[in-house]
A = this chain, B = another copy of it.
Amino acid sequence: MVQPEITAGLLVIGDEILSGRTRDVNIQTTAQFCTDLGIELKEVRVVADDTDAIIAAVDALRTRYTYVFTTGGIGPTHDDITADAIAKAFGVDLPIHPEARAMLEARWAETGAEATPARLRMARIPQGGELIVNAVSAAPGFRIGNVHVMAGVPKIMAAMLETIAPTLEGGRKVDSRTVSAGIGEGAIGDPLAEIQSRYPDVKIGSYPRMGNTRIMTYLVLRSHEADPLDRATAEVQGLVDRLHAEKNIVLPKEPYA
């Protein structure tokens, strides 16, 4: 039996990404996390700290994909409204979670911080949600339904992904091979399309990069199946070797993997 496809959508929440003030790094972290687990990340959305926008995006993603991951908006300040929006999306209350409160209070006891209303916002968890504890911050994320709500600070987001990894069902792993070509995409497009047409189980992507000294094209082959992947990779490598020989191109050894 073929394993079912396991899919995910990622929702990045934060005005600071949309204003350009902050460069997002959680998209790539989550994308690599999914790839490692055999989960296919199908879509990412970035929305503002706006309740209606968050609800609309969460509802769209959670009905479409196996898992939804969100990052951002679970801190103690007034602009952190993700928990409120998720509770609304699921139609549940947002009470203080005793365990979350206890974890936060233990940390506050260490640091001498007071249990202010702002700090207690971080203990509010939608009814029925399960905590996502992490090693970096005492403030937990939470899972409700198929939606995993996590922090925006990259170190905390990464720690929360580590926490949830064992709870996720992985799909078939996708293997990939990269062939580096010291030529532009235009020179390789037609024979590459011909190879692609003969390997329906292999997805061949072509990624140009303008280096300082020459145009490079990275040809990335991806498949669930090792055999066609190896055969298609050998054909692409042969094509690139022929083109390099024709054009007297010798690529330096590079650490690119």
Q: Provide the residues of chain B in CB contact with A196, threshold 8 Å.
A: 78-79
- Of the listed stretches A40-48, A91-99, A124-132, A165-173, chain B binds A40-48
User: Do A204 and B27 have beta carbons less than 8 Å apart?
Assistant: no
User: Do A116 and B205 have beta carbons less than 8 Å apart?
Assistant: no
| A and B contact pairs by CB, cutoff 8 A, 27 listed | A12-B44, A15-B203, A16-B220, A17-B28, A18-B42, A18-B44, A21-B207, A22-B28, A27-B27, A43-B45, A43-B47, A44-B45, A44-B46, A75-B208, A77-B206, A78-B193, A79-B204, A79-B205, A79-B206, A113-B184, A113-B187, A117-B189, A118-B193, A119-B186, A122-B186, A153-B208, A153-B209
Q: Provide the residues of chain B in CB contact with A174, threshold 8 Å.
A: 19
A23 at the interface (CB under 8 A from B): yes
Q: How far is the CA of A44 from the CA of B88 in the complex (A)?
A: 22
A185 at the interface (CB under 8 A from B): yes
Task: Looking at the assembled complex, report how far the CB atom of A68 sits from the nearest CB atom of chain B, in whole angstroms.
Answer: 14
Q: Provide the residues of chain B in CB contact with A207, threshold 8 Å.
A: 16, 21-22
A20 at the interface (CB under 8 A from B): yes
Residue in B23, B43, B209 whose beta carbon sits within 8 Å of that of A25 in the complex: B23
A146 at the interface (CB under 8 A from B): no
Q: Provide the residues of chain B in CB contact with A42, threshold 8 Å.
A: 18, 47-48, 53
Q: Provide the residues of chain B in CB contact with A43, threshold 8 Å.
A: 18, 45-48, 53
**Contact of A153 with B210 at beta-carbon distance under 8 Å, contacts A18-B41, A21-B220, A185-B77 already known:** yes
A154-179, CB under 8 A of B: which get 1 and which 0? 01000000000000000000101000
Task: Looking at the assembled complex, report how far the CB atom of A50 sits from the nearest CB atom of chain B, in whole angstroms.
Answer: 9
A222 at the interface (CB under 8 A from B): yes
Q: Which residues of A contact B (CB under 8 A)?
A: 12, 15-25, 27-35, 40-49, 53, 75-80, 113, 116-119, 121-122, 136, 153, 155, 174, 176, 184-190, 192-193, 196, 203-210, 220, 222
A22: nearest chain-B partner, CB-CB: B207
A15: nearest chain-B partner, CB-CB: B205
Q: Provide the residues of chain B in CB contact with A204, threshold 8 Å.
A: 78-79
